[in-house]
Every structure is written in structure tokens, then in C-alpha cells.
Amino acid sequence: MKKKLTYPVLLTLFFAGLLLALLIYALVRYFTISGDDALSMMLWEAIPALIVLVVLYGAAMVLYLVRIRASIKGAAKAIEGAVTERRETGLGGEWAVLDSAVQKFNASAEESLKSREGSIALDARRRTEAGIARDMVKTFSETTLPCVELDFSGAGGAERSSVIAADLYDGFCLGRRTLCFMTADIWGTGFAAARFASRVKELFRDFAHSSESLGEAVLRLNQALIENNPDELALTGFFAVFSPATGELRYVNAGANPPVIVGKERAFLRVQPGCPLGLYREPDLTEEYLIFKPGRCLVTYTNGAVEARNAAGEPFGYDRLFDAVKDGFERSLGAERIVTSVTEAVRAFGGGALKDDAALYALYYPKGIQTELSPKTSELERLRDTILDWLKDDPRKNKIFLACEEIFTNIVNHSGATTIHLSCQAEGNSFVVRFTDDGEPFNPLQMRPEGGYYSNNYGEGGMGMAIIRQIAGEIFYRTQENRNVLTIRFPVIKGNAS
């Protein structure tokens, strides 16, 4: 569609043409006038003409604007006079119809504008809150780290739905060798649910560290949620504390589904139904306990895991949940892989589109032997008996013992440790040995200090890390609470079946 050339545009184009002609004239004069004062003569001729053009252009524009303003004032006065005349005389006819139409239009436009503004503001607020909620859910999920202790592991995971349901899991250590974990199903969605979940996680961690028992911590959490719960939300959850020193697992069920236990058998953990938190000041909650034996895995979960549906509308259900946990347990090298097995199964079944969050936490307690060794070479006999007794008739047991002997000897001779903890476990198809000592922090996989801590000095009888790597499948080093933890994984070993 072509734009119409208005008076201001035509006027501007006209004066632009005159200005261009003036410029061309000035250039021609400059190059045709000879002498040193050619530039001065050209300017004395061009500048007055330029001033005249600018003044004329400004005057023309002012006259145009004055004329337009006068026209607008005249039209406004005419309309105002007509409206005044109608009100004073009560005339109807065409004026009445026009006035009524204008009033209806103004009212409709004002109402539509207010409605539109409200809708835009509400939509913007919802998008902002949804973004904040997703960031909150991502934050409190990412800050939940797997607990990998000396002889057990715990890890959580979640499959998020399109709706922000904010179901959560958490796992953390109470002291060096006690694991506290939870899963919670939040009754709500959106920003309010994310804010509620974040507060639940923060409060429970605080109460777990400051309470005499798990039951007390959960009751304090319930009381805090009731006293400050502006969104009037609630949750069902499972809370537990595990101590591998005694094998004791203490737990409180607050209306959640019973966890799955997998070992030689698969079953639900027997729990009291319990009461959701955030509803009643005196909820019906019971702290229970059992001896959690090695060679087992416990998985607690929220409703989204079993209620996920496929394209045909079939629920994932408890049988598929059992199978996913069992599959992860049988090929597992820790709690993280068990959680991954379940979340991948739920995601594949639901086609990647869940209607509700699915949060899980797994406690993995493999079979094994834990013993404390003194930092003396005389303890090599105990180390040898432990390794060979566990491996029994495995043809590589002597090589594995020599690798462990090399590590133990170097810890004794070079680390300055006062205690050494030995852990031997069967994890999946691997035999895993962990040495934990309180000596000077040092990672033998990254550097080798002078003097030979894990050195390659064969002349002194040390096998060195090079040969240990050939025997072992994987070697990991980390520090935990000022202690060195070196883990050696020997693959496809016939472990102790007892």
C-alpha cells in the first residue's frame, strides 16, 4: 500500500532539492574561481543562501502547524457546541443516536481495555511465577547430593511433569556414618508448591540435626508447617535415618506409599499409614525401626512413579516399579544407578510426558566386610586373610591381594595415618575394596610425592600404581571429613555368596 505524500513531506522534499542545488552551485563556484581566496568567496555566496532556505522552511512549517491547530480547535468547538445544544434543548434525532453510540463505544472500549490489561498482567504474573518456581525446583534438586559412605550409598532422582508439582527428595549425612533421607509429595502446584517444598527441605534438615530422634524432627516439621503456611498446603512423605554401624533403619511414614525392599526377595516395607503433614497439630505418626541387613536395597517414591500412564491410559503400577528396582539392583554399582533404572523406566513408559512429578530416593547396602586395621605392617596377615577368605577360589585372588598389600604398605609408610578402615564388598559383578585413613590428604591418581607414596620404585618392592591399574578395573579417590578414601573396583569377581 503506497503512502500518501502529505504537505510536510512535499515541503521537506522541495527544500531538500533547493539545498542540493545550492551545494552543487557552491562546489562549481569553488572549482571555477581561481586564487587563494576561492574558498572564502564561495562561502560568502553560499552561506546567506543557506540561511534564507532554513528560515523559509521553518516559516512554512510553522504556518502549516498553526493552520492545523486552528482546524482542530474549530472542530472541537463545533462538537462541544453541538453536545451543549443537545443537553440544553433536549433535541433527539441524529444527534441522540450519535451521542448514544459514542457513549456505548467509550464504555465498551474502557471495559475491554481494563479486561485486556488485567489479562496481560495476570498472564505475565503467571509466567513469572512459573519461571521462578522451576528455578526453585531445579535449585533444591541440584543441591541434593548423593551420599556415598564407606559401606553404603544413597541417592535420589526425580522425573518432572509439565505441571510444577515440586515433589522432592533429599539425602544428607548426620555425622560421618549416619544417613538421613526423605521423599515428599507436595499437595499443590506452581509457585506456591515450589516455595512450600523449598521450605520443607530447609526445615527438615535443621530439625534432623537438632532433634533427639527422627520422630521428634518430623513432629517439629509438622508444627512449623502449620504455624506458617499461608498457601494452606500439605504433604505426604517418608522420612528415615540409617546407621550402618548397627544396621538400624529408623523411619516415619507420613501418609506415603510403603517403600520397596529388594534383595533375595522383593516386598513392600511394612509401615504404619501415618498422617500427612501440615494439616493437624497432633498427627498420628509413629517412629518405627528394623535391622536393615546387607545385600538389600530400599526405594521410597512419590505417587507420580506408580501413577504415570502410557498412551493407552495404563498406569505404571507397582509390578513395573518392582521390576525396575530389581533390574537396577541386579546390575547396580550403587544407589545412583538404581534410581536411574527406575526414572528411565518411568520416563519410557510415559513417553516423556508425565502428569505428576515422580521423586525417588534409594538406599543401597551391599554385602561386605568392614574392619579397622592398625597402621602397622604386622596387620598384613589380617588383610591377607580377609581378602583371600572373601575371594575363596577365584584364580586372581593372589594378584588382588598383592595390589591391596601395596596400597596398605604405602599408607603405613608414607601417609602418617593413625587408623585405617578396610571395606570389602560385592557390588554387582565387581569386588570392591576401600581403604580409608586419617593421614595427610593426598590423591595418588593425580600426583606422586617424592619418596614414593604409591611410587613406582620396584627396587624397594613396591608394585606401583601402574601395575595396580592393570589388575583393577577402576580406581577412585576422594576426601571425606578429613579422611582419604581410595576405592579399587575389580570387575567380574566371584564374591562371597554367603
The torsion angles phi and psi of 15, rounded to 5 degrees, stand at -70, -30
For residue 216, what pLDDT band results from cuts at 50, 70 and 90? very high
Closest CA to 236 of 289, 291, 165, 315: 165
Q: Is the pLDDT of residue 203 over 90?
A: yes
Average pLDDT in the chain: 78
User: Which superfamily, per CATH, for 144-365?
Assistant: PPM-type phosphatase domain (3.60.40.10)
Least confidently predicted of 79-88, 199-208, 250-259: 79-88
* pLDDT of 16 higher than 90: no
Is the Cβ–Cβ distance between 304 and 357 less than 8 Å? yes
Which stretches within 331-379 are classed as H helix? 335-350
Name the band, by pLDDT with cuts 50, 70 and 90, for residue 160. confident
CATH number, domain 368-491, options 1.10.10.10, 3.30.1130.10, 3.30.565.10, 3.40.50.300? 3.30.565.10
Distances (CA, A) of 109 to 96, 97, 236: 20, 18, 49
Domains of the chain, residue spans? 7-88, 144-365, 368-491
Please state, in angstroms and as integers, the Cα–Cα distance from residue 350 to each residue in 194, 344, 347, following that order: 23, 10, 5
251 near 214, Cβ under 8 Å?
yes
Q: 5-19, 39-53, 143-157, 258-272: which range is least confident on average?
A: 143-157
Residue 251 Cα to chain centre, angstroms:
27
pLDDT tens digits along 309-348:
888 889 999 999 988 998 888 776 578 888 888 999 998 9
What's the pLDDT tens digit per position in 78-127?
A: 666 655 655 555 444 544 544 565 566 566 666 666 666 566 555 555 56
Of 357 and 175, the structure prediction assigns the larger pLDDT to 357
Query: Predicted confidence band at 295 (pLDDT cuts at 50, 70, 90)?
Result: confident
pLDDT-above-70 percentage for the chain: 73
Q: What is the mean pLDDT of residues 188-193?
A: 79
pLDDT recorded at residue 498 = 40
* Nearest CA-CA partner of 164 in 198, 128, 188, 148: 188
